[in-house]
């Protein structure tokens, strides 16, 4: 890591001073406490924060959330906004390979007492309805026409096919559809990879988790979301699968040429980019939007599958069981959004890579269900500790382009975790020590996602909330986990 001048602005906010000799156009801002900051210094992610600050058209700062860790080009946990009118860029490295990887939280009127004595049997039953694993194929067969509709219309396709109720759309970011999507700009190879993967979980850090509400911090907001103490929540974490990965790969090659064409000096070739309003930039945005639409439909189809399985398992009592989406968020995406910049309203391209939109109350993008209280923010934990439901804030709007953390953030590489942790032993200990039922197809894959490979989620969330980027509504504890 190069030598940077870093000053502590507050207990939870640090500034990497702008150094024009390094090509920095803006400072770096890192939301962290002292302990997390030490890990940040040692991992090389500050280099990535600085590298992002050199890109054309960047506004205010190169931001890093408290769950920051090393990523491709941008750090994971990185946020940056670019002004298209001044040559601002869009970069696939600022979105990531798993376009619109995100989280959905689903509430039910079940309580812990209803399922605690049959949890293992219930998790096993549900697992048969959840296709998963690397390259895993789903149960939904898409025609070419279906694929075009999924990519262009998003959740509307799921509504028309009976996988989603119309009213559920207001509980998904952007109503479940990024309107700029155009399948014409998605390669046939990407579409080919997506045909068989709709309604699948994938592998790695993706999961389906059954949780219980462990603590309520905001009774009013929790009531609006339908949450109560000991209530059962289902959380789904997955993205655009092979289709999104291929879109990113395709456009990285295009952007590498575009960076040279537009004479953009890159400190790291993984930051390959093009002006937002260039042909290359607009084409990537259209393709990325298709990936986001696919990811939201993927989570919707998984929601349909898991709720159908749960109601079937409950049998006669299922008709009286109310299960519905709280909210669905993406945390790997770039969006054209309007923000207040130096007293004027401007449209900017906000990259959030491993970061969640955290819009405060009153924003027009929010549905009527949440406009009063702000956007629900879904923060998954590490399968052995807690997850959280937060709300967006006005402070986040003013400071970080309406952004906050997205999860715990890795402390340990996947390869290191597999060397020191045995998946079978982890599975056993989670059941014996914490009563958590884990269903996993790969023991090495499970070891990669061990709780000790991640930062303390409570610390990460505390930093985000104490910095004002979000506020707590509820804490959830895991009961059962399904992983690929």
Proportion of the chain in helix, strand, coil states, percent, rounded to 5: 40, 25, 35
Residue 220 DSSP SS3: helix
- DSSP character for 359? B
Q: Name beta bridge partners: 338.
A: 347
DSSP-derived pairing of the beta strands 470-483 and 437-440? parallel
Residue 65, judged by CB atoms within 10 A of its CB (0-12, 13-18, 19+), counts as buried
Catalytic residues: 406
Residue pair 316/121 in contact (Cβ under 8 Å)? The answer is no
Helices 279-314 and 241-261 meet at what angle, rounded to 10?
170
Rg (CA), the chain: 21
Cross-strand pairs, 58: 82
Closest CA to 105 of 454, 376, 482, 314: 376
Task: In the chain, count H helices and then E strands.
Answer: 15, 19
**8 A C-beta contact, residue 204 and residue 445:** yes
Helix (H, G, I), strand (E, B) or coil at 476: strand
Could you give the angle at the alpha carbon of 356 between the alpha carbons of 70 and 426, nearest 5°? 60
Residue 179: φ, ψ to 5°: -70, -20
Please name the residue that has the structure tokens 């009013």.
220
d(CA 401, CA 395): 9
What whole-number distance in Å separates Cα of residue 418 and Cα of residue 448?
6
Collapsing DSSP to helix, strand or coil, 283 comes out as: helix
Which pair of tokens denotes residue 369?
């269900």
Sign, CA torsion 80/85/89/95? positive
Q: Any residues with CB less than 8 A from the CB of 418 and at least 6 apart, and which? A: 444, 447, 448
Residue with structure tokens 């309520």? 216
Residues 6 or more apart whose CB falls under 8 angstroms from that of 176 comprise 154, 155, 156, 158, 164, 169, 293, 296, 297, 300, 328
Token readout for 99 is 């376009």
């Amino acid at each position: 890591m190069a030598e940077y001048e870093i000053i502590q602005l507050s207990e939870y906010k640090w500034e990497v001073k702008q150094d024009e000799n390094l090509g920095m156009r803006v400072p770096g801002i890192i939301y962290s406490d002292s302990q997390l900051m030490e890990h940040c210094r040692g991992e090389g992610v500050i280099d990535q924060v600085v590298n992002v600050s050199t890109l054309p058209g960047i506004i205010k700062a190169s931001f890093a959330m408290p769950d920051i860790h090393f990523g491709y080009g941008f750090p994971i946990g990185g946020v940056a906004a670019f002004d298209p009118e001044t040559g601002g860029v869009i970069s696939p490295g600022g979105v990531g390979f798993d376009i619109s990887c995100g989280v959905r939280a689903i509430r039910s009127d079940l309580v812990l007492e209803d399922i605690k004595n049959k949890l293992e049997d219930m998790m096993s039953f549900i697992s048969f309805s959840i296709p998963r694993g690397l390259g895993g194929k789903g149960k939904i067969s898409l025609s070419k026409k279906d694929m075009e509709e999924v990519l262009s219309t998003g959740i509307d396709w799921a509504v028309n096919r009976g996988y989603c109720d119309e009213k559920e759309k207001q509980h998904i970011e952007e109503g479940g559809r990024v309107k700029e999507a155009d399948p014409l700009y998605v390669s046939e190879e990407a579409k080919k990879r997506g045909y068989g993967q709709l309604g699948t979980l994938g592998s790695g850090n993706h999961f389906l988790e059954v949780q219980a509400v462990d603590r309520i911090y905001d009774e009013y907001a929790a009531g609006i979301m339908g949450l109560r103490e000991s209530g059962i929540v289902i959380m789904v974490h997955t993205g655009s699968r092979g289709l999104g990965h291929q879109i990113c790969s395709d456009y990285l090659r295009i952007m590498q040429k575009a960076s040279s064409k537009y004479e953009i000096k890159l400190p790291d070739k993984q930051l390959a980019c093009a002006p937002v309003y260039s042909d290359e930039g607009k084409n990537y945005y259209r393709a990325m939007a298709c990936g986001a639409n696919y990811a939201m439909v993927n989570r919707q189809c998984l929601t349909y599958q898991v709720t159908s399985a749960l109601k079937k398992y409950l049998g006669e009592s299922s008709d009286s069981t109310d299960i519905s989406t709280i909210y669905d968020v993406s945390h790997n995406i770039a969006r054209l959004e309007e923000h207040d910049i130096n007293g004027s309203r401007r449209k900017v391209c906000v990259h959030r890579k491993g970061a969640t939109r955290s819009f405060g109350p009153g924003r027009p993008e929010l549905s009527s269900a949440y406009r009063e209280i702000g956007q629900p923010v879904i923060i998954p934990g590490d399968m052995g500790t807690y997850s959280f439901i937060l709300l967006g804030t006005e402070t986040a709007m003013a400071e970080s382009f309406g952004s906050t953390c997205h999860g715990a953030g890795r402390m340990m590489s996947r390869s290191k975790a597999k060397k020191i942790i045995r998946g079978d032993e982890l599975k056993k200990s989670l059941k014996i020590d914490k009563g958590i039922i884990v269903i996993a197809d790969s023991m090495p894959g499970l070891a990669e996602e061990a709780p000790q490979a991640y930062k303390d989620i409570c610390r990460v969330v505390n930093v985000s909330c104490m910095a004002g980027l979000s506020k707590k509504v509820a804490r959830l504890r895991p009961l059962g986990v399904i992983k690929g």
